[in-house]
Chain A
Amino acid sequence: MNPQRVACKFFVEPDPTAPVELHPCIGLFHRFIQEAVLPGLLIDVADYTHVPEGPGVLLVGHDVDYGLDLGGGRAGLLTTRKRLDGASLTDALRDTLQRGLRAIDAIESDGSTGLCFDPRAVVIQVVDRLAAPNDEGAYAALADEVAPVLAALYGEKVEVARAHAEDSRKCLALRATGQERESAADLANRLTGGEGSG
Chain B
Amino acid sequence: MIQGADRASREPQFMATTPSSTPSPSTWKEALAGQMDSGWESEIDDFESQSVLRSQGKLDEKVFAETRLRRGVYGQRYDNGKRHDGTAERPLAFEDRPTKGPDTLWDAPGMQRIKIPFGGVSPEQLEVLAALSEEYSDGILHVTTRQDFQLHYIHIGDTPDLMRRLAAVDITTREACGNSVRNITACPLAGVCKTEAFDISPYAEAMMRFLLGHPDVQDFGRKFKPAFSGCEHEACGLVQMHDAGYVSRVVDGKRGFKVVVGGGLGPVPHQAKVLSEFTPEEELLPQTQAVARVFARLGEKRNRGRARIKFLVAKIGIEEFRRLVEEERKILPKDERWTEFLKDMPRTGGDAVRDAASLVAGDRQEGFDAWLATNVKPQRQEGYSVVTLNLPLGDITADQTRALVDLARAYCGDNIRTTVEQNIVLRFVSDADLPEVHRRLDAIGLAAPGAETIVDVTSCPGTDTCKLGIAASRGLGAELRQRLAAKSASLPQAVTDLKIKISGCFNSCGQHHVADIGFYGNSRKIEGRTVPHFQVILGGQWTENAGSYGMAVGSVPSKAIPQAVDALTDAYAHGREGAEGFAAWVKRMGKRNVRELIKPFMAVPPYAEGPDFYADWSDVREFTIGDLGVGECAGEVVSLFGIEVVRAESEAFDAQVALDDGDYEAAEDLAFRAMLTAARALVRTEYIDVTEDPDDIVSEFRSRFFDNERFFDRFARGKFGQYLLDRHADPPADAGRDHAAARVEEAQLFIEAAHACEVRVSAELAAGGGVPIENPADA
Interface residue ranges of B734-764 to A (CB < 8 Å): none
Complex: how many Å from CA A55 to CA B397?
8
- Decide if B153 touches A171 in the complex (CB within 8 Å): no
**Which of A90-98, A101-109, A161-169, A182-190 is the contact stretch?**
A161-169
Does B539 make an interface contact (CB < 8 A)? no
Between A and B, 25 residue pairs with Cβ closer than 8 Å are A4-B135, A34-B85, A43-B108, A46-B152, A46-B153, A47-B464, A52-B400, A53-B444, A53-B445, A58-B138, A72-B10, A83-B155, A131-B23, A136-B18, A137-B21, A138-B23, A141-B20, A141-B23, A160-B17, A161-B16, A163-B14, A166-B3, A167-B4, A169-B130, A169-B402
State in angstroms the CA–CA spacing of A164 and B14 once bound together: 8
A87 at the binding interface (Cβ < 8 Å): no
Residues of chain B from 138 to 186 with CB closer than 8 A to chain A in the complex:
138-140, 152-153, 155, 157-158
Q: Which residues in chain A, 120-163, are within 8 Å of chain B measured between CB atoms? A: 123, 127-133, 135-141, 143-145, 160-163
Residues of B within 8 A of A131 (CB): 23, 25
Specify which chain B residues have a CB less than 8 angstroms from the CB of A54 in the assembled complex. 139-140, 395, 397
Does A173 contact B138, Cβ atoms closer than 8 Å? no
One digit per residue, 1 when the CB lies within 8 angstroms of any chain A CB and 0 when it does not, for chain B 393-408 equals 1011101101000000
Interface residues of B in 563-593 (CB under 8 A from A): none
Bound Cα distance A144, B139 (Å):
27
Asked if residues B16 and A48 are in contact (CB atoms below 8 Å), the reply is no
In chain B, what residue has the closest Cβ to A167?
B4
- Chain B residues with CB below 8 A from A67, complex form: 138
Chain B residues within 8 Å of A162, by CB: 13-17
Q: Which residue of B lies closest to A141 (CB)?
A: B22
Chain B residue numbers with a CB within 8 Å of A161 are 14-17
Q: Is B632 an interface residue, CB under 8 A from the partner?
A: no
B768 at the interface (CB under 8 A from A): no
Whether A48 touches B400, Cβ cut-off 8 Å, given contacts A26-B618, A43-B109, A136-B18, is: no
Closest A residue to B446 by beta carbon equals A52
Contact A48 B620 (CB under 8 A): no
Are A140 and B18 touching (Cβ within 8 A)? Answer: yes
B180: shortest Cβ distance to chain A, in Å?
30
Within 8 Å by CB of B135, from A62, A123, A129, lies A129
Q: Is the CB of A136 within 8 A of B392?
A: no
Other A-B contacts than A44-B78, A141-B22, A162-B13, 4 sampled, CB-CB below 8 A, are A52-B400, A138-B23, A145-B22, A162-B16
Closest 4 CB pairs of A and B: A52-B445, A140-B20, A161-B14, A137-B20
Answer yes or no: A49 CB below 8 A from chain B CBs: yes
Known: A43-B92, A55-B138. Contact between A2 and B25, CB under 8 A? yes
The CB with the most chain B CB atoms within 10 A, among A5, A52, A160, A173, is that of A52
Across the two chains, which residue of chain A brings its CB closest to B448?
A: A52
Q: Which residues of B contact A (CB under 8 A)?
A: 3-4, 7, 9-23, 25-28, 31, 77-78, 83, 85-87, 92-94, 107-109, 127, 130-131, 134-135, 138-140, 152-153, 155, 157-158, 392-393, 395-397, 399-400, 402, 444-446, 464-465, 474-475, 478, 481-482, 618-621
Query: Are B28 and A130 touching (Cβ within 8 A)?
Result: yes
With beta carbons under 8 angstroms apart, the residue of B155, B397, B620 that contacts A53 is B397
B389 to chain A, nearest CB (A): 12
- How many angstroms from the CA of A160 to the CA of B14 in the assembled complex? 9
User: Which residues of the other chain, A, contact B86 by a CB distance below 8 angstroms?
Assistant: 30, 34
Complex-state Cα separation, A64 to B402, whole angstroms: 25
Determine if B18 and A139 form an interchain contact, defined as CB atoms under 8 angstroms apart. yes
Residue of A nearest to B13 (CB): A166
Contact of B20 among A45, A53, A62, A139 (CB under 8 A): A139
CB distance A136 to B20 under 8 Å? yes
**A33 partner, pick from B3, B18, B19, B85, beta carbons under 8 A:** B85
CA–CA, A198 and B31, complex, Å? 28
Task: Please determine whether A46 and B12 come into contact, CB atoms closer than 8 angstroms.
Answer: no
Contact of B94 among A41, A58, A135, A144 (CB under 8 A): A41
Q: Nearest chain A CB to B559's CB is how many angstroms away?
A: 15
- A27-B445 contact in complex given A62-B107, A71-B139, A129-B135, C-beta closer than 8 Å: no
* Alpha-carbon separation in the docked complex, A52 to B92 (Å): 31
Most buried by B among A48, A127, A166: A48
Q: Whole-angstrom distance between the alpha carbons of A47 and B628 in the complex?
A: 23
Q: Complex Cα distance A166/B5, Å?
A: 12
Say yes or no: B395 contacts A53, CB within 8 Å. no
Q: Does A1 contact B (CB under 8 A)?
A: yes
Contact between A53 and B19 (Cβ–Cβ < 8 Å)? no
Indicate which residue in A50, A55, A58, A128 contacts B392 across the interface (CB closer than 8 Å): A50
CB neighbors of B among A35-81 (8 A): 41, 43-55, 58, 60, 62, 65, 67, 71-73
* Cα A167 to Cα B2 with chains together (Å): 11
Tell me whether A60 and B153 are in contact (CB under 8 A): yes
Query: How distant is B48 from chain A, measured CB to nearest CB, in Å?
Result: 16
- In the complex, what residues of B have CB within 8 A of residue A2's CB? 25
A55 to B402, CA, bound (A): 16
Q: Tell me the bound Cα distance from A46 to B395 in angstroms.
A: 13
Residue of chain A at shortest CB distance from B482: A50
Contact B138 A5 (CB under 8 A): no
Indicate if the CB atoms of B464 and A30 lie closer than 8 Å. no
A30: which B residues are within 8 A, CB to CB? 85-86, 619-621
